[in-house]
Amino acid sequence: MDANGPPWVAAARPGFPGALLDRAPCGYIAFGDDALVRLVNATLLDRLGYAAGEIVGRHVEAIFTVPGRIFFQTHLFPLVMLHGAAQEVFVLLRANDGTSVGMLCNAVRQARDGAFVTDCVLVEVRERRKYEDALLLAKREAERTNRTLEEQALELELQHQQLQDQADELERQRAEAEEARNAAAAANRAKSEFLAVMSHELRTPLNAIGGYTQLLETGIYGPVTTEQGEALRRIARSQRHLLGLINDVLNLARVETGRVEYSITDVPLSEVIAELAAMIEPQMAAKQLTYAVIAPHGELTVRADREKLVQILLNLLSNAVKFTPPGGRITLRCTAAAGVPGMAALEVEDTGRGIPDDKLEAVFEPFVQVRASGFGATEGTGLGLAISRNLARGMGGDLTATSTVGVGSRFVLTLPRSAPRGA
């Protein structure tokens, strides 16, 4: 035993107001985080009828009744550990003679002597009704809480079922959309194959018409009068027009079915610009249009299929001629694409009628032609831009458009630039 007195006696601890605690009218007990009793005052020992050695060093639950122990384990001890304090908590202690003693407990957990200790002040509840009412209130609160939990559980179950139903509906819609997409893809393939076959079948007799028309014009079957010559020239123009339309349909069918082959090489844009000039300048001169080419001083080379690149630019320039009024201006500009490393931009800009904002994307759809006031119906199938965009994307680029009604349009073809020599 310590020379200063037994460790369980509050007055025996140096620097601890033990004498005051032993004379206090309320009980006092202290235990560590391991729930082992460290200190107890004489008031509590006398009320419960224990000797100090029967409590100190033992688990604090030793002085609780069976219900009190359950309450300590599930409420009081976790409350103190979590919040560091508990106020006016009713507890049932077990006296040495087996009787129950109701007390109100106020507890504080704090660090002392290098460890955490919970100090409890216990005041006896002498009116039995008080703690019975407290127990009844606690029971009712527990029942109310239980009902709330059951209602919440039912609500969660309903929400879970609703979410499951929504998930099933989304899966059904996804499956229907996938089925519809597959059906649309199959129908599109069938359409493209049909167009390819029909276009090929139509080209044969049209070519024959063109050939026989040329033979008649040469007079191989006999002299041709002036009126007959004019009729033959009309037949030839109509034949070329129909053949051009059929070629557009055939090209679209090939693009959509993935039958287009690309021969990607380094293509100097200066050569393409010169080739285009010979084909497009007569059309521009006929409408008194100004044609300007803006290109960098150094050679700009792109990775593309040369034939298809010429096809795209010729389509864009022909459209610009078609929709620009006499006296207007058409510009072909070649630059490095702004903000897109490794890409070149070829812009065809006109001062034509322009395209409404809500029609900009529609012009790239097959068989779509945008008409505006001041222009009559234009010849063509409306396939040129659809084919051109597909060809651009097939070469790793894209074709986009911006426009202002009454001001003009700008179509931008982007393509990969060739790597510098020696790279």
Q: Three-class SS string for 271-338?
A: HHHHHHHHHHHHHHHHCCCEEEEECCCCCCEEEECHHHHHHHHHHHHHHHHHHCCCCCEEEEEEEECC
**What pLDDT, on the 0 to 100 scale, is given for residue 369?**
63
Residue type, 401: A
Is the domain covering 10-126 a CATH 3.30.450.20 domain? yes
Q: Report whether CATH 3.40.50.300 matches the domain 265-416.
A: no
Confidence of residue 8 (pLDDT cuts 50, 70, 90): very low
Mean pLDDT of the region 363-387: 63
Cβ neighbours for 138, distance < 8 A, ≥ 6 positions apart? none
pLDDT tens for 260-317 read 788 899 999 989 998 888 888 888 888 899 999 998 877 889 999 998 899 899 889 9
At residue 131, does pLDDT exceed 60? no
Q: How far is CA 387 from CA 78, 201, 222, 371, 392, in A?
A: 75, 21, 43, 20, 9
Burial class (CB in 10 A: 0-12, 13-18, 19+), 308: buried
What does the pLDDT look like over 236-274, one tens digit per residue? 877 776 766 666 666 666 666 666 788 899 999 989 998
What are the start and end residues of each CATH 3.30.450.20 domain in the chain?
10-126
Confidence at residue 366, expressed as pLDDT on a 0 to 100 scale:
74
In angstroms, the CA 4 to CA 243 distance is 120
Q: Where, residue-wise, is CATH 3.30.565.10 in the chain?
A: 265-416
What backbone phi and psi angles, to 5 degrees, belong to 402? -135, 150
Q: Who's near 44: CB < 8 A, 6+ residues apart?
A: 27, 28, 29, 122
